[in-house]
């Protein structure tokens, strides 16, 4: 079995002529984010954001699968409560087993609610710096915060984006903690994602061959964390990334994107564009769902490229256990195991998994974390 890197192990580098930590601190202290750099007229990507060559492979786009013929599956939820339930469950199963990533249409979230949240968070980033600055924070205890690069002081290279973070522990968030501009649209969107989450939880349970209440009963998607990313236009998109390749440390992620594109998913050893489909919500299987499904469902690697046009705006809703269940241990679901399907992973909790993920893995350096939780062949 591979040894786990210790949480907190730093991957930061700095050379004799380059004090990365100092540059990161200076950038952070502007509290103006990447948008601030662009507004100040930078014409070159600062060194802090320049990625090593291994992160910048195959940066070309393949719009609508023109070159590869590969397209992210579309799952139509129309009629999922009655006439089309089996169909929908079958589609979801296939998409989860092959891509781990799919576009959901007819999901019940009104277009004006999706447009409303995208517009509100975009407006937040486009306010004068002085107004935004008061919200800038890296304090985990805050239920709302604005920051650039959650892993600024740990990652090897910063990414070209600014973010807003809304924590809805078990559906609750004090509206007063959120800037007025975003309050109504984000709460409205969250209410709808909550409903969609319940439907998908049932459908995915059935897709695994379990009772429809199974995933709901084990509480694995009780907590919502809504994170908005704002990817400004970039003068040298070949030198940096919006989001480095990673899979999510969630059970499930729901992602709303505007029309700018840039998101890519890894499939059959290629990067495939996730072309925006009007009205669609993207869903992707997270590492922990992959673990409990004993590898039946895949958690796909994905990344975001930046462009000379923009901004790209996305709203991710991360679903994972809430409250006490954060420390509850989850392992491969027993009902899915037999002699031919022995457990492939050991049990872990969200807290443990996320700890490794944030300190050593994925988001930081593109190294997958889930393999560390594999049961060794010799066991
Ligand atoms: C993420 C992510 C994609 C995007 O936040 O985990 O993959 O489009 N975001 O912002
Ligand atoms: Ni992601």
Q: Look up tokens 């004799």; give the residue.
A: 16
Task: Report residue 254 as tokens.
Answer: 């729901």
Distance CA(49)–CA(334), nearest Å, equals 45
- Residue 134: how many other CB atoms lie within 10 Å: 10
Identify the CATH assignment for 20-373 out of 3.40.50.620, 3.40.50.2300, 2.60.120.330, 3.40.50.720.
2.60.120.330
Q: Whose CA is nearest to atom 4 of ligand 1?
A: 314
Examine residue 231 and say whether the peptide bond preceding it is cis (omega within 30 degrees of 0).
Answer: no
- pLDDT above 80 for 317: yes
pLDDT of residue 35: 98
Q: pLDDT band at 364, cuts 50/70/90?
A: low
Q: Is 314 in the pocket of ligand 1 (CB under 6 A)?
A: yes
Q: pLDDT band at 363, cuts 50/70/90?
A: low
pLDDT of residue 137: 97
Q: H or E stretch including 302? A: strand 302-304
pLDDT of residue 6: 44
Q: pLDDT band at 250, cuts 50/70/90?
A: very high
* In the chain, domain spans: 20-373
> What does the pLDDT look like over 111-167, one tens digit per residue?
999 999 999 999 999 999 999 999 999 998 899 999 999 889 888 899 999 999 999
Q: Is 257 in the pocket of ligand 1 (CB under 6 A)?
A: yes
Q: Where are the alpha helices (DSSP H) in the chain?
A: 20-30, 33-39, 85-98, 111-125, 129-133, 180-207, 214-217, 287-292, 350-360, 362-365
- pLDDT above 70 for 90: yes
Mean pLDDT rounded to a whole number for the chain: 92
Residue 316 CA, ligand 1 centroid: distance in Å: 6
Q: Is 190 in the pocket of ligand 1 (CB under 6 A)?
A: no
Q: What is the mean pLDDT of residues 324-349?
A: 97
Residue 13 CA, ligand 2 centroid: distance in Å: 24
- pTM listed for this prediction: 0.93
> What does the pLDDT look like over 203-244, one tens digit per residue?
999 999 999 999 999 999 999 899 999 999 999 999 999 999
Residue 12 CA, ligand 2 centroid: distance in Å: 22
């Amino acid at each position: 079995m591979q040894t786990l890197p210790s949480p907190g192990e730093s991957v930061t580098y700095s050379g004799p002529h380059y004090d990365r930590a100092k540059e990161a601190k200076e950038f952070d202290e502007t509290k103006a984010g990447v948008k601030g750099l662009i507004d100040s007229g930078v014409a070159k990507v600062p060194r802090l954001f320049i990625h090593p060559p291994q992160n910048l492979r195959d940066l070309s786009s393949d719009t609508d699968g023109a070159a590869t013929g590969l397209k992210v599956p579309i799952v139509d939820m129309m009629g999922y409560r009655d006439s089309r339930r089996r169909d929908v469950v079958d589609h979801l199963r296939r998409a989860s087993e092959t891509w781990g990533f799919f576009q959901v249409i007819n999901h019940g979230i009104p277009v004006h609610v999706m447009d409303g949240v995208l517009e509100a968070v975009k407006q937040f980033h486009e306010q004068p710096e002085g107004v935004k600055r008061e919200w800038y924070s890296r304090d985990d205890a805050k239920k709302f915060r604005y920051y650039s690069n959650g892993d600024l002081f740990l990652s090897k290279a910063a990414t070209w984006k600014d973010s807003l973070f809304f924590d809805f522990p078990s559906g609750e968030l004090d509206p007063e903690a959120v800037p007025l501009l975003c309050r109504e649209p984000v709460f409205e969107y969250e209410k709808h994602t909550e409903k969609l989450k319940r439907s998908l939880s049932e459908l995915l349970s059935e897709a695994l061959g379990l009772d429809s209440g199974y995933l709901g009963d084990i509480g694995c998607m009780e907590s919502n964390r809504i994170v908005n990313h704002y990817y400004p236009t970039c003068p040298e998109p070949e030198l940096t990334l919006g989001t480095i390749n990673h899979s999510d440390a969630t059970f499930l992620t729901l992602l709303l994107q505007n029309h700018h594109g840039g998101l890519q998913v890894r499939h059959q050893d290629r990067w495939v564009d996730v072309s925006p489909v009007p009205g669609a919500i993207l869903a992707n299987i997270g590492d922990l769902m992959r673990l409990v499904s004993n590898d039946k469902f895949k958690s796909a690697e994905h990344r975001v490229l930046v462009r000379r046009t923009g901004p790209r705006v996305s709203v991710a809703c991360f679903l994972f256990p809430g409250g006490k269940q954060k420390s509850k241990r989850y392992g491969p679901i027993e009902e899915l195991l037999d002699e031919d399907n022995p457990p492939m992973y050991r049990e872990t909790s969200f807290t443990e998994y996320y700890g490794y993920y944030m300190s050593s893995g994925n988001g930081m350096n593109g190294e997958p974390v889930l393999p560390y939780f594999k049961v060794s062949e010799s066991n």
